[in-house]
Amino acid sequence: MKNKTSTNISSKQKNVLFSKSNYKWSREEESDSFAQKVKLFRQGKLSEDDFRRFRLQHGAYGSRLQMNYSMVRIKIPSGEISPEQLEKIANLSEAFSIGSAHVSTRQNIQLHWVQLEDVSEVMRGLAEVGLTTREACGNTVRNVMCSHFAGVCPEEAFDATAYAKAIARFFIRNPMCQNLPRKFKINFGCCNKHGLVRIADIGLIPVIMDGERGFKIYLGGGLGAASFIGHLLEDFTPENKLLSTSMATIRLFDRHGNRENMARNRMRYLVHEMGWDKFQKMVLKERSIVQMTTAASTAKLFDIGAEETEQLPKTEHTMVKLPILKEQVTTTESPSYERWLHTNVVPQKHWGYFTVFVTLGAGDITANQLRVLAGTIRDFSVESAARNTPQQNLAIRFVKENDLNEFYNRLASVGLANPGALTIASAVGCSGTTSCNLAITNSHRLAKEVQHKFLELGFDTDDDLRDSTIKISGCPNSCGQHEIATIGFFGGASRIGTAMAPTYTMLFGGSAEEQGELGKAIMRVPAKRVIDTICRIVEIYKQEKSNTETLKQWINKIVRGEGTGNMKSIENIKTALTSFTHLPPVEQEPELYRDYGTDIKFNAKTARGECAA
């Protein structure tokens, strides 16, 4: 067994400190009070509405058409999770859930199909390792995200992790945000490529200006039935205005947000309706009020220093794809290991250290896999933690070059060494009809099918496809983040005669990068034809592309109407695909009228949503 001490770090970087976060997000008493409330609700002493509000505030959603079961959403602030916490989640998933846990697109980990009466026990178990479900759902500040590259990204100005956690600590259980018009999302990035900063209510990119730390802050972005890209508040927000800017924004939303119309009450609608200029002025004005009126004792609650880690000196490294490793690392003995290195491992800014990605299928991982992974992290990651990624994978950082092979073997022993994590093969899929009340289609299974097929076809080894993404939602609500995918899909139903078929609306050209755009809807595709359609798009691309152009670049060009050859515009590609996307009558192709994972006729059933986003 390796011991993880600073001696693991090369002499050049001896001064690096990995201060371990041991912040306790949980409160034991919340588990007891949850158990109490469930009893009162069952006895009819608590109204359904009051109970629902309480339940959501404590991170439990109703499961699909079965309100006796819950989806328990565990918040992982900044995405950083320890081996002990992973093991606890493994045990809880076996005892109270389905024996697998699910990594969401917002750095939560979800346990599905938990009996409502057992939720308090899950909470109690989580509290033993400091984790909480508090405010993982409901109209409040949701899990605060942070790029999984924060701290290791060669392009970042500084590590935003401590700031993300400080913001999360400040707002959790804060009376200021217990009853917002709607949920509120805060995302920290590392550089302008990684992190979902432009699709959050508040998105922040760390920058240094004249030696001073600060952020570029984007406001009013978000995905959903109607999506918007966030607006830049000002060129530079110094770090000492981070808290006041966040507070000001939340206060404005609380005061002016729409509480009447559920469908239009995210802050992005407020910004849209009011106009950005006006909203921007109001935020800046509110911020000065906040700065003048916030008590020093309050401001003290925002404590970045508590968990700050020291920075390593920047090296020559840039994040390029492997293999760029030294000879001894890339052996030719095992092609599958080499393929994995190529698609799942990236060098860090710290010389000799790598970030390893664990490929999951639509974010699912079994209890046993979690346990083996926890042990592997303990043995090989110098920071002894994992970060969950919005691509529904797990990133393990600070793995030494010489340990990569053994790391791979350990993962392979429990089926966790699939390649493709950083490629088009790692399709994202929300929970869809596996558990969500609002779902129309089984987006979850479709994402797994896409991954399976693409790995079989070797798409992950094709560098032309590498930077493209596939993301799938089971309804227009965007939990699968289909609007920031190169090729995105959201589920719906199409009627031909009296028969209903599961179909997806396909979108092109989305991206969450700082300069990114939201995807444009192209056409509807029968669920069972989605994979063929993507494969056909890849074929056309291969015929049409100009030399070094990647699939992503080629698609973006077409969306902008700047395509060349036979594929100049969206119209051209639509025409080329109609034979795949055409939906014949049910008698001709009954298979197209059944969704994945079921042999019964498709029927779009939904129930009242609790905003599973």
Binding of ligand SF4 by 484 (CB under 6 A): no
Q: Which does 480 bind (CB under 5 to 8 A by kind): other proteins, ligand SF4, none?
A: ligand SF4
Give DSSP secondary structure letters for 402-457.
GGHHHHHHHHHTTT---S-TTSTTS-EE--GGGT-TT-SS-HHHHHHHHHHHHHHH
| Residue 133 is a binding residue for ligand SF4 (CB under 6 A) | no
Report CA-CA distances (Å) from 583 to 445, 485, 490, 602: 21, 24, 17, 14
Phi-psi region of 40 (alpha: psi -120 to 50; beta: other; left: phi over 0): alpha
Cβ 439 to ligand SF4 shortest distance, Å: 3
Q: For residues 309 and 359, what is the distance between their CA atoms, to the nearest angstrom?
A: 27
Please pick, from the candidates 151, 154, 419, 432, the single residue that binds ligand SF4 as defined by CB under 6 A. Answer: 432
475 binds ligand SF4 per the rule CB under 6 A: yes
Q: Say whether residue 503 binds other proteins (CB under 8 A).
A: no
In angstroms, give the least distance from the CB of 441 to ligand SF4.
Answer: 8
Task: Tell me: does residue 430 bind ligand SF4 (CB under 6 A).
Answer: yes
Kindly give, in sequence order, each residue whose CB lies less than 8 Å from that of residue 456, ignoring residues fewer than 6 positions away: none
**Partners of 473 in beta bridges:** 490
CB of 451 to other proteins, least distance (A): 12
344 binds ligand SF4 (CB under 6 A): no
Own/partner contacts of 273-277, CB < 8 Å, gap of 24 or more, are 276/220, 276/231
Part of the chain binding other proteins (CB under 8 A), chosen from 64-72, 192-200, 484-492, 517-525: 64-72
First CA to last CA distance, the chain: 41
- Measure the CA–CA gap between 188 and 217, rounded to whole angstroms: 9
What is the nearest approach in angstroms of other proteins to the Cβ of residue 91? 6
Candidates 234-242, 244-252, 414-422, 467-475 — which segment interacts with ligand SF4 by CB under 6 A?
467-475
Q: What's the closest the beta carbon of residue 109 comes to other proteins, in angstroms? A: 13
Is residue 70 a contact residue for other proteins (CB under 8 A)?
A: no
- Residues with Cβ within 8 Å of 341's Cβ and at least 6 positions away in sequence, in order, are 322, 323, 325, 329, 330, 404, 408
Cβ count within 10 A of residue 36: 12
Q: Which residue has the tokens 């797990």?
A: 394
Q: Which of 144, 200, 438, 470 binds ligand SF4 (CB under 6 A)?
A: 438
Q: Is 431 in the site for other proteins (CB under 8 A)?
A: yes
Span of 55-63, 225-233, 316-324, 468-476 interacting with ligand SF4 by CB under 6 A: 468-476
Q: Does 540 bind ligand SF4 (CB under 6 A)?
A: no
Examine residue 499 and tell whether it contacts other proteins (CB under 8 A). Answer: no
477 touches ligand SF4 by CB under 6 A: yes
Q: How far is the CB of 354 from other proteins (least distance, A)?
A: 25
- Residue from the set 79, 195, 221, 474 that interacts with ligand SF4 by CB under 6 A: 474
Contact predicate 115/174, CB 8 Å = no
Binding flags for other proteins, 82-111, as an x/- string (CB under 8 A): --------xx--xxxxxxx-x---------
Sheet holding 66-75, edge to edge: 60-63, 66-75, 108-115, 100-103, 364-366
CA 134 – CA 58 distance, rounded (Å) = 4
The least CB distance from residue 480 to ligand SF4, in Å, is 5
Site of interaction with ligand SF4 (CB under 6 A): 430-432, 436, 438-439, 443, 473-475, 477-480, 612-613
